[in-house]
């Protein structure tokens, strides 16, 4: 697996140009909503940004900075949303997010990280196969009798911890949609374990690797050719982390892509009118971080030439169109766009283990995002990730002016 020292080129060639902090020029719309990094927006010092974190990484590995509690907190405040990474890679060949994730892994290796709440996640996964410490045998409590599961199907729905335990209605709606579209699918039953997303993104790589290996084995055992998720974190972990362990021999789809295909093929029709002005929030791991990770080993030669050529993840092929196409297919829905959308979407604050360690910062970030959503004139925010839902629900609970939130699957089921 990659390590911090793999990213010395990134650290050494950063010119502090600021691209990691601001909206990309082609997407500019006005004075407001130009900062794309939640920590930079909230804490304002440049050290709270992609640039700052890679500067810190460099000083740490060169021995010019010593661990202290405030430094560890600083490193773990980042939501690992990857906005810095994609913006940097709009102009350069650097790996900002992988440097940040490797920095966290380094903190864990050195016995300095993660935050206590993250260790608790790992403990829960170890004992109960989910990050919440809930009984493993309740993982599929969401399954109801009116859901058709086809044992032996080559398609598996992977619900994930947060959906299964915190937002079971998303799982149920996903299953109903798959049934409605005539897609035969199964589940991994007791062999579905935590995907490892939070462990990976908090630097607990060994624990995350264990989860990945377990799930990959189960997927192969069931003969699965396609894994469908309704959680952006699971989706992004399958595509962004698992290939660091083993090459994937199955495809991973998000439910929004599946619905898009069903609509295109006429397998479902969304007939019921839902009169609503909505805006769509791009989850980080479904949008800019959705591209498949392709391991690269080679040399960086003179003037940045990568030999062999590297397959970059620049956010170009994120899942941006599918959820929008689905929303636009629902009669009565008017989709309004936020300034920071698609690859420049502003994080909900729910990533990178931040909700567990810094819940106030997650709340601040979600409120910021809802403010932007409200500025579009929308009545509701739609997204495709239970982590986003969790962040937004907290913000909505604390602000009576806030909008409503719906998972995409809920609107689709209502419109069926």
Q: Given the rule CB under 8 A, which residues bind another protein?
A: 9, 12-19, 21-31, 34, 43-47, 49, 51-52, 55-56, 58-59, 65-66, 68, 70-71, 74, 86-87, 89-93, 300-306, 309-310, 312, 314-318, 320, 342-344
Whole-number minimum distance, CB 308 to another protein, in Å?
Answer: 9
15 versus 275: smaller Cβ distance to another protein:
15
Cα(279)–Cα(214) distance, integer angstroms: 37
47 versus 380: smaller Cβ distance to another protein:
47
Whole-number minimum distance, CB 43 to another protein, in Å?
Answer: 8
Whole-number minimum distance, CB 77 to another protein, in Å?
Answer: 11
Select from 374, 390, 375, 383 the least CA-distant residue to 406. Answer: 383
Q: What is the 3-state secondary structure (H, E, C) of the chain?
A: CCCHHHHHHHHHHCCCCCCCCECCHHHCCCCCCCECCHHHHHHCCCCCCHHHHHHHHHHHHCCCCCCCHHHHHHHHHCCCCCHHHHHHCCCCCCCHHHHHHHHHHHHHHCCCCCCHHHHHHHHHHHHHCCCCCCCHHHCCCCCCCCCCCCCCCCEEEECCHHHHHHCHHHHHHHHHHHHHCCCCCECCHHHCCCCCHHHHHCCCHHHHHHHHHHHHHHHHHCCCCEEEECCHHHHHHHHHCHHHHCCCCCEEEEHHHHHHHHHHCCCCCCCCCCCEEEEECCCCCCCCCCCCCCCCCCEECHHHCEECCCCCCCCCCCCCHHHHHHHHHCCCEEEECCCCCHHHCCCCCCCCCHHHHCHHHHHHHHHHHHHHHHHCCCCEEEECCHHHHHHHHHHHHCCCCCCEEEEHHHHHHHHC
315 versus 353: smaller Cβ distance to another protein:
315
42 versus 134: smaller Cβ distance to another protein:
42
Whole-number minimum distance, CB 33 to another protein, in Å?
Answer: 10
Provide the 10 A C-beta neighbour count for residue 203: 28
Whole-number minimum distance, CB 332 to another protein, in Å?
Answer: 27
**First-residue to last-residue Cα distance in the chain:** 44
13 versus 144: smaller Cβ distance to another protein:
13
Whole-number minimum distance, CB 220 to another protein, in Å?
Answer: 33
102 versus 390: smaller Cβ distance to another protein:
102
Whole-number minimum distance, CB 119 to another protein, in Å?
Answer: 22
74 versus 205: smaller Cβ distance to another protein:
74
19 versus 162: smaller Cβ distance to another protein:
19
Whole-number minimum distance, CB 337 to another protein, in Å?
Answer: 12
What residues are paired with 156 via a beta bridge?
186, 227
Whole-number minimum distance, CB 170 to another protein, in Å?
Answer: 27
45 versus 141: smaller Cβ distance to another protein:
45
């Amino acid at each position: 697996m990659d390590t911090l020292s793999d990213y010395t080129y990134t650290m050494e060639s950063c010119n502090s140009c600021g691209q990691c902090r601001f909206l990309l020029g082609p997407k500019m719309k006005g004075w407001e909503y130009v900062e794309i990094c939640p920590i930079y927006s909230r804490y304002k010092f440049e050290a709270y940004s992609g640039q700052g974190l890679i500067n810190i990484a460099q000083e740490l590995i060169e021995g010019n900075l010593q661990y202290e509690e405030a430094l560890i907190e600083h490193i773990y405040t980042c939501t690992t949303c990857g906005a810095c990474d994609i913006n940097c890679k709009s102009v350069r060949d650097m790996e900002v997010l992988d440097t940040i994730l490797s920095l966290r892994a380094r903190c864990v290796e050195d016995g300095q990280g993660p935050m206590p709440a993250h260790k608790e996640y790992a403990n829960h996964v170890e004992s109960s196969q989910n990050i919440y410490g809930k009984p493993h045998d309740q993982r599929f409590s969401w399954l109801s009798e009116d859901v058709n599961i086809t044992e032996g199907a080559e398609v598996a729905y992977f619900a994930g911890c947060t959906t299964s335990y915190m937002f079971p209605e998303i799982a149920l709606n996903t299953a109903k949609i798959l049934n409605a579209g005539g897609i035969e699918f199964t589940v991994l039953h007791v062999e579905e374990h935590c995907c490892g997303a939070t462990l990976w993104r908090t630097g607990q790589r060994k624990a995350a690797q264990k989860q990945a290996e377990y799930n990959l084995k189960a997927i192969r055992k069931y003969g699965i050719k396609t894994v469908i998720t309704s959680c952006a974190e699971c989706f992004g972990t399958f595509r962004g982390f698992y290939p660091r362990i083993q090459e994937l021999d199955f495809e991973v789809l998000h439910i929004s892509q599946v619905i898009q295909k069903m609509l295109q093929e006429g397998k479902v029709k969304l007939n019921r009118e839902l009169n609503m002005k909505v805006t769509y929030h791009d989850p980080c791991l479904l949008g800019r971080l959705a591209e498949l990770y392709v391991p690269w080993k080679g040399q960086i030669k003179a003037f940045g030439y990568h030999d062999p050529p590297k397959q970059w993840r620049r956010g170009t092929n994120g899942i941006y169109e599918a959820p929008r196409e689905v929303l636009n297919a629902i009669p009565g829905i008017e989709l309004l766009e936020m300034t920071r959308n698609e690859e420049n979407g502003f994080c909900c604050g729910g990533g990178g283990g931040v909700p567990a360690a810094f819940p106030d910062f997650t709340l601040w970030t979600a409120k910021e995002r809802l403010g932007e959503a409200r500025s579009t004139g929308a009545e509701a925010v739609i997204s495709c990730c239970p982590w986003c839902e969790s962040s937004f629900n907290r913000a909505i609970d604390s602000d009576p002016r806030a909008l409503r939130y719906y998972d995409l699957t809920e609107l689709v089921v209502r419109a069926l």
